Amino acid sequence: MLKARLEHDAVYGRCLATTEAVQQGDIVVEELPFAYGPKRDSGIVCLGCYRYLDFGEDGDGDGDRCELCDWPLCGNCADVAGGDHRGECEVFAKARVTFAGNVGEDGVCPQLDCITALRVLLAKEEQPERWLEEVAPMEHHEQQRRANADLWHADRVNIAQYLRGPCKLAERFSEELIMQVVGILEVNAFEARTTQGYPLRCLYPYTGILAHNCVPNTARSIHPSDGYKIRLRAMVPLEAGQQLQHSYTYTLDGTVQRQSHLREGKYFNCSCDRCLDASELQTHFSSLKCGQCTEGWLLPKQPTALDTIWSCRACDNSSTSEEVRQIVDALQLEVNAVQSLEMGAKRLEEAERLLRKYKSLLHPSHYIATGLRQLLIEMYGRVQGYEMVQLTDQLLERKAQLCREVLKVLDHFEPGLSRARAMNLYELHVPLVLLAKNGFIASRLSGADLRSRLVEAIDLLKECVEILQHEDPSSQEGILCGVARQALQQLTASVEGLGNQLE
């Protein structure tokens, strides 16, 4: 840790706080994973690089197997003398446990669920002090996990009993210890991606215990080219002794959806300021239009309760949580149907149709409407019939408007150095540049006006690069940073040339 210390909070338990005042963008925590491996419920992946392998229905597939233990390993990783796979390879080879290659109808290979847990157990033996001081105290919520009898039984059979039985590790690891490790991973592990973009999960003892907040003050980046080192940065300036908080759910979900995700996946209820505020910090991110009056909105009386009355503040109209849930679920089904369409003009036009339809049902900033705007931002300029060079000024203005509306929401929920903000800033700069150039060509803008508009776009790109410059270059965000930096250089050169002409 760099600028953080371990603390105990009455609500959050073990958590981290700053040791000194921190500037926006400063690294507050930096650490290597204790262990990492395949995601839970994955298909068959190479145990070295995590790319998906096709083993076919009979389990043989393309023959990508380790020569020593027969478990999945691609040819490239087999040449790296074991790599990440070395530890479990010795276990499997010694116990003569072969890989069956069976995949269920859901595409999941249960036999691989043991891998990451086994790697944590092997790391425990190699780093006993770090295990005792950093990993063993991590939450694993045994009681809550036992309540899900089917999942607990599956973990016990597929992981604990498999490792202690066929893998012959009963003398080294108790069932209680293995189930503890399974819980630690389930509650605390982060998803990462390799330099090639394949998903895996990593366990970080300190970053993994950050307190949650639906308006986070930190952002993390994981660097696969540096041993999957995680770097936690301050999204906003922080005071000395201020608690470090991260969001363990999607910030652009509504309160009901965030609470459900946290209860089911992290086993706690959130009571942050945003969750306790029925209007979600005056954004009305979950508010529905009142059906009885023209000015009011339906808001929950107790936002964090499972069953609460939704009432209008402008009249006496009210609805039950079940009635609201049915409305929202019906709308979400329509959105899902649009998202499932092939990327193209129909998908874009259907998204616009739904957004118009929902004006009479949802607050303009509702999370479903915001999600549709984000979807449209990604399609305008990219789908056939709506490529950027084909967009009329009206459609360019439309894309810019969509970007500004999403950015306004992000100002509330992801203030400061937000990756989502950076990506929307990049999307916004493109129509602004084209509108400026079109206006100049049509003589609607003077040379000075053109320069002013381009400078505005330059400022957007500068902020975009400032946010994304800390991302791993191989990540989607890191690649976008390179693209934005190149666009910034070209646009700056254009403005300088234009300035010389105006002089």
Q: Which of 57-61, 270-274, 330-334, 406-410 has the lowest mean pLDDT?
A: 57-61
Q: How many CA atoms lie within 13 A of 335 on its CB side?
A: 20
Q: Quick one: 230 and 170 in the same domain? A: no
Spatial CB neighbours of 207, under 8 Å, sequence gap ≥ 6: 29, 31, 190, 220, 230, 232, 246
Residue 64 is predicted with a pLDDT of 85
Q: Is the pLDDT of residue 502 over 90?
A: no
At 305-333, the pLDDT tens digits run 989 999 998 998 999 999 999 999 999 99
Residue 23 structure tokens: 């500037």
Q: Quick one: 423 and 361 in the same domain? A: no
Residue 185 domain flag = no
Give the C-alpha separation, 478 to 223, whole Å: 10
Final residue before a domain boundary, out of 344, 379, 414:
379
What's the chain's length in residues?
Answer: 503
CATH number, domain with residue 29: 2.170.270.10
Residue 484 domain flag = yes
The model's pTM is: 0.91
Residue 236 domain flag = yes
Q: Is the pLDDT of residue 488 over 70?
A: yes
Q: Quick one: 41 and 163 in the same domain? A: yes
Residue 472 domain flag = yes
Residue 178 is predicted with a pLDDT of 98
Final residue before a domain boundary, out of 246, 266, 299:
246
CB 222 within 8 A of CB 209: no
Residue 238 is predicted with a pLDDT of 98
What average pLDDT does the chain have?
Answer: 94
**361-374: average pLDDT:** 98
Final residue before a domain boundary, out of 379, 404, 436:
379
**2-22: average pLDDT:** 91
- Regarding predicted confidence, which is higher, 78 or 396? 396
Q: Quick one: 154 and 258 in the same domain? A: no
Q: Quick one: 10 and 53 in the same domain? A: no
Query: What residue numbers bound the domain in which 222 lies?
Result: 4-33+204-246
Per the structure, the count of domains in the chain is 4
Q: Quick one: 416 and 344 in the same domain? A: no
Residue 218 is predicted with a pLDDT of 98
Q: Quick one: 234 and 256 in the same domain? A: no
Q: Quick one: 406 and 483 in the same domain? A: yes
Best CA proximity match to 363, nearest among 256, 298, 283, 287 = 287
Residue 190 domain flag = no
Percent of the chain with pLDDT over 70: 97
Residue 498 is predicted with a pLDDT of 81
Question: How many other CB atoms are found less than 10 A from the CB of residue 457?
Answer: 23
Question: How many other CB atoms are found less than 10 A from the CB of residue 116?
Answer: 26
**467-489: average pLDDT:** 95
Q: Is the pLDDT of residue 215 over 60?
A: yes
Q: Quick one: 213 and 259 in the same domain? A: no
Q: Which amino acid is at 481?
A: C
Give the C-alpha separation, 31 to 202, whole Å: 11
Q: Quick one: 361 and 256 in the same domain? A: yes
Question: pLDDT band at residue 82, thresholds of 50, 70 and 90?
Answer: low
Q: Is the pLDDT of residue 75 over 90?
A: no
Q: Quick one: 45 and 158 in the same domain? A: yes
Q: Quick one: 142 and 213 in the same domain? A: no
